[in-house]
Chains A and B, each alone.
Chain A
Amino acid sequence: MLDAVRCLVARDLLLALRRKSDVGTALLFFVIVASLFPLGIGAEPNLLRAVAPGVIWVAALLSSMLSLRRMFEADHADGTLEQMALGAAPLGVVVAAKALAHWLVAGLPLVVIAPVLALQYDVSPSLYGVLALSLLLGTPVLSLVGGIGAALTLGLRGGGVLLSLLVLPLCVPVLIMGAGSVEMAAAGLGASGQLLLLAAMLVGAAAAAPWAIAAALRISLE
């Protein structure tokens, strides 16, 4: 079973490596959206500092929506998904591996690059750690919850917009806690409450989402 997980994660990373443009677009989108706000709002350091956590988190959310569609689409189109459903490992385990690979490719780069973007907002360097940590805990939840939407909208025409409409409202708690943690830290209060709640969401999503995704995929495969 673990071999199937290792095999799939390695496969998806290899595929991402051979198709760098797919990975690059979502990341570039994140950078551009997060850079548009300072340009649009103007050089108002106090205002920029105040909106930074929210803007960066919303940009991360939108960027992860962009890459969600790809989680199962290619595998569905070329028949690999059927083979996964007929594999030796339970489908729930297989999709957990897919979600992990998706996060490594689409989520982890956001965590790494967010502090650099925070520079544009004149965010105090002492907050970089909290910002990165909140994204580190929050982006896997986006991949897992988004996976449910990706599985449900598989094979639908215009599924991309529907996917965002389905998933974005579900991601609101993550956004509130993620951006909130940075704001709390900026105000000098501890961010641990929000971060712990994010961690709890991650644990909950990791436990439940793979089975929900597997059930949705079985429906899509029929």
Chain B
Amino acid sequence: MLEAAELRCERGGRTLFSGLAFTLGSGALLRIAGPNGRGKTSLLRILCGLLEPAAGEVRWKGAPIRELREEFARQLVYLGHAPAVKDDLTAAENLSIACRLSGFPATEKSIHAALETLGVPPQALVKKLSQGQRRRSALARLVLSESVPLWLLDEPLAALDAAAAALVTGLVAEHVRRGGMAAFTTHQEAGFAGVPVSVLDLDAFDA
């Protein structure tokens, strides 16, 4: 279970939100909403431990993530704005390295299958791929992250066409039904195949 307690975030001398609290239990799906510059990405980065909150803390199964560090990192997948793929590597090499670094090495076969699910040619150099295909190759990690309980996705649907967006929402819905938990930001309204989505509106925590 992921718990946020009285979080406050300051960026560039400005308070983005304060007093933010929520809990995300098993099988819950959370959409973080708010206009641009409201702190959606900052909140996700605080939740995964990349950013220290100005006040408050994030707890994973009751323990502060600051103390858990790698132990917590192994329980989560964070996909940020940047796709985190290398131009000079192939999509398959990128995915294989990402899996190994996150502590869940995957077989070549499953990597190829994951990329093909998302419609990315595994042996193509990433620099030859389009923006949307890059995004898809980064999202292919979700196919291999079934056993990772917490998914934190920053704008997972950006730059995706309708078919890919449906694939990704399908993956997220399946993950939540399995008992996983996910938090994501998005501007588009998206359906998650009947899985209820709770909404956290950052405007409500305006400082």
- State the A residues within 8 Å of B (CB): 3-4, 7-8, 11, 14-15, 18-19, 74, 77-80, 82-90, 94, 221-222
Interface of A is mostly: helix
Q: A15 to B49, alpha carbons, bound, how many Å?
A: 28
Write out the residue numbers on chain B whose beta carbons fall within 8 Å of the beta carbon of A7. 97, 100-101
- The CA of A164 and the CA of B171, in the complex, are separated in Å by 47
Q: Which of B69, B74, B84 contacts A83 (CB 8 A)?
A: B84
- Given contacts A4-B101, A7-B100, A8-B101, A86 and B84 within 8 Å (CB-CB): no
The residue of chain A having its C-beta at the shortest distance from the C-beta of B97 within the complex is A11
24 of the cross-chain contacts (CB-CB < 8 Å) are: A7-B101, A8-B101, A15-B88, A18-B88, A18-B89, A78-B83, A79-B80, A79-B82, A80-B85, A82-B82, A82-B84, A86-B73, A86-B78, A86-B102, A87-B73, A87-B102, A88-B70, A88-B101, A88-B102, A88-B103, A88-B104, A94-B101, A221-B50, A222-B50
Q: B36 → chain A, closest Cβ, in Å?
A: 19
Bound state CA distance, A73 and B174, in angstroms?
36
A78 touching B85, Cβ below 8 Å? yes
Chain B residues whose C-beta falls within 8 Å of the C-beta of A11 in the assembled complex: 86, 89, 93, 97
List B77-121 residues whose CB lies under 8 Å from chain A. 78, 80-89, 93, 97-98, 100-105
Chain B interface SS verdict (over half): loop
Q: Is B182 an interface residue (CB 8 A)?
A: no
- Known A3-B105, A7-B101, A18-B88; judge A86-B48 contact (CB<8 A): yes
A79 and B83 contacting across the interface, CB-CB below 8 Å: yes
List 20 additional contacts besides A82-B78, A87-B73; criterion CB under 8 Å.
A7-B97, A14-B89, A15-B86, A18-B88, A19-B88, A77-B82, A78-B86, A79-B80, A82-B50, A82-B82, A83-B78, A87-B102, A87-B103, A88-B102, A88-B103, A89-B70, A89-B101, A90-B69, A94-B101, A221-B51
What 1/0 flags go to B58-86 for Cβ under 8 Å of A? 00000000000110011010101111111
In the bound complex, CA of A8 to CA of B50 (Å): 20
Cα distance, A78 to B100, chains bound together (Å): 18
Q: Which residue of A lies closest to B78 (CB)?
A: A86
Most buried by A among B48, B51, B52, B86: B86
Cβ of B83 and Cβ of A86 under 8 Å apart?
A: no
B83–A222 CB distance below 8 A: no
CB contact under 8 A between A79 and B73, given known A86-B49, A86-B50: no
User: Which B residue's beta carbon lies closest to that of A88?
Assistant: B103
- Do B70 and A84 have beta carbons less than 8 Å apart? no
Residue of A nearest to B100 (CB): A7
B-side contacts of A89, CB under 8 Å: 70, 101, 103
In the assembled complex, the CB of A53 is this many whole angstroms from the nearest CB of chain B, namely 37
Which chain B positions have C-beta within 8 A of A3?
Answer: 100, 105
Chain A residue contacts of B85, Cβ below 8 A? 78, 80
Q: How far is the CA of A80 from the CA of B87 in the complex (A)?
A: 11
Closest 5 CB pairs of A and B: A88-B103, A79-B82, A79-B84, A18-B88, A87-B101
* Chain A residue nearest in CB terms to B99: A7
Contacts of B74 in A (CB 8 A): 88
Give the docked Cα–Cα distance between A203 and B86 (Å).
32
B53 CB → nearest A CB, Å: 11
Chain B positions within 8 Å of A87 at CB level = 70, 73, 101-103
Taking the closest CB of chain A, its distance from the CB of B194, in whole angstroms, is 31
Closest residue of chain B to A7, judged by CB? B100
Contact partner of A4 (CB less than 8 A), chosen from B48, B76, B88, B100, is B100
